[in-house]
Amino acid sequence: MSDLRWLAWSVPFIYALAALCTLGVRNAWRALSLAAGAALALALAELLRTFAADASTPFSASARIASVVILLISFLGWVIARYSRVNLAGEPGERRYVLGLLATLAAVCAVVATNNFAVLIAAWALSSATLHPLLTFYGERPLARLAARKKFIAARLAELCLLGAAALLYQQWRTLDLDSIARLAGAGAPLAPPVQLAAVLIAAAVLLRCAQLPLHGWLVQVMEAPSSVSALLHAGVVNLGGYVLIRLASLIGASAPAEVLLVAVGSATAMLAGLTMMTCTSVKVRLAWSTCSQMGLMLTECALGLYDLALLHLLAHALYKAYAFLSAGETVQESARWRLLARPSADLQRRDAGRALRAGLLAGLLVCGSSALWHVIVHVPLLSWPAWLLCTTGCSVLLWDSATVALYLRNVFVTVAAVQLYLLWHVTIRSALPASAVNPSELARLWASTCFLVLYFLQWRLSRPVHSPGAARLWAWASVGYFLDEPVSALVMRRWRRRAPRWTGLPLGRSLAQRQGGAA
């Protein structure tokens, strides 16, 4: 425990101790509030301690990464605890909810705090087990039970992959210490076949736990759970896959098969889920598809060696998704308010592909200029072209809708401010990460870049009024998730036929899509 010392482990201990004090409903909420506040204070103290330490000390990089993520989880736990106490007041399962939330937070923090691969596997499995009662908080809802069963299958497959990887690594190197594994993998020597297989198994486990295609359906269908559970799942639990890849960056980066697997599945999920998100009519289902897409993007960043960008993405995505789910109930009022300020619908008819191309070129120039400016002033390394492309396509969306010159200039200013803020965070995060020797192949970079360019222009196409037959077919297929989840749903429903929900006479895929609110 010399790497993270006792202070990091005190955070999950606080949650576990509070779970033992949930004797009554009132005591349960009191224990949750006290545990959330104490964990947040301890996490802040751990962050200050690790960043104040000498950077040359052993394990300082992994300790800093862990302290940042523990602070993030503690902050989210504190916010969700305050929200839940009001949102679930009077529910019959209040004490059961508090116990499950405390146990899940303790398990997630243990995953982050540990430096032992075996403990990480056990804590990750425990987080899945404690999350299961929260997903079935309303157990009478058929989709809640179906989603929980799908998640159970995906989690067990991921744990089998992790156990196989641990056995292979221990057989080869006789250690399960994460920092030792990273140091041995980054020594520069070619990896032995057992270690290569272990890296592939770890990548497969992360893909399963991050709800990547084709086993992504459970994340979209857990919307039957309370909004606070959705916020915890999408902001804290699903992101653990990205954190594990960051901790094992040297091992994953030295394995070409693991890199190819992450790039192929992650970029495909980011593209397909990003298109489906635009066709959803349900707010929470739209956010769920967004999480699938963002997880695919994060895993692709890890496979391309952009670990500083992935860590920044993890932090920003967690904070955004927690806010989005906890404020989902206000979306109708917000939509009505913004509809009064919207442009006339005739303006939408004047959209053309040239405007999307011009927005992309201008955003690219702004990103390049800002990166060069930071390079000249503070000697920050220039962005690699995959990172440049990701930033460009992300900022281009801000320049799509510009009906007047004043609005266009405002959007340009917002884009410049967003790029500068990103580069500032980029510098801060890079200083906390260890130097990485990951050098992905040009084919992987080209594949990922092509996927995101295609996604950008297809999103532009879906944002226009659907007139052409091609756009209508694309909308129809995207609105039902391309039926990719239907084989898994049929398999699970056959396995639990007696408890399966009673579907309508429509085909299975269309019935599921309509029940999720994802049909056009």
pLDDT tens, per residue, the chain with 520 residues? 444 455 667 788 788 877 777 766 777 888 888 888 888 888 888 888 877 765 555 456 778 888 889 999 999 999 998 888 888 877 788 888 888 888 898 899 899 988 899 999 999 999 989 988 888 888 777 777 888 888 888 899 999 999 999 999 999 998 898 888 988 887 777 888 999 999 999 999 999 999 898 888 888 887 778 888 888 888 888 989 999 999 888 888 888 899 889 999 999 898 888 888 888 777 788 888 889 989 998 999 888 888 888 888 899 889 988 888 888 766 655 554 444 444 444 444 444 556 667 777 777 787 787 777 777 776 666 677 677 777 777 777 777 765 566 777 777 777 777 777 777 777 777 666 655 555 667 777 788 878 878 887 777 777 666 556 766 777 777 777 778 877 777 777 776 664 444 433 333 433 444 444 443 3
Sign of the CA dihedral running 23, 28, 31, 35? positive
How many CB atoms are located within 10 Å of the residue 128 CB? 20
Residue 429's pLDDT is: 73
- Distance from C-alpha of 113 to C-alpha of 11, rounded to nearest angstrom: 9
- Distance from C-alpha of 489 to C-alpha of 512, rounded to nearest angstrom: 9
Residue 158's pLDDT is: 93
- DSSP state for residue 215 in the 8-state scheme: S
Residue 165's pLDDT is: 94
Beta bridge partners of 177: 116
The token pair that represents 111 in the structure block: 């995953």
User: Which helix (H) or strand (E) is 394 found in, with range?
Assistant: helix 385-396
pTM across the whole model: 0.83
Residue 331's pLDDT is: 62
Residue 341's pLDDT is: 40
Tell me how many degrees the CA angle 260-440-373 measures, rounded to the nearest 5: 135
What 3-state DSSP class applies to 177?
strand
Task: Calculate the dihedral angle through the C-alpha atoms of 290, 199, 152, 107, rounding to the nearest 10 degrees.
Answer: -90
Which residues contact residue 306 at a Cβ distance below 8 angstroms, ignoring those fewer than 6 apart? Answer: 384, 386, 387, 390
How many CB atoms are located within 10 Å of the residue 394 CB? 18
Listed in sequence order, the DSSP H helices in 53-141 are 60-87, 94-113, 117-135
Cis, peptide link before residue 507, omega less than 30° from 0: no
- Distance from C-alpha of 260 to C-alpha of 440, rounded to nearest angstrom: 9
Residue 509's pLDDT is: 39
Residue 520's pLDDT is: 34
* CA-to-CA dists, residue 33 to 17, 23, 98, 227, angstroms: 13, 15, 10, 18
- Distance from C-alpha of 149 to C-alpha of 218, rounded to nearest angstrom: 8
* CA-to-CA dists, residue 412 to 284, 359, 388, angstroms: 30, 10, 17
Q: Is 77 left (phi over 0), alpha (psi -120 to 50) or beta?
A: alpha
Which residues contact residue 216 at a Cβ distance below 8 angstroms, ignoring those fewer than 6 apart? Answer: 269, 273, 292, 484, 485
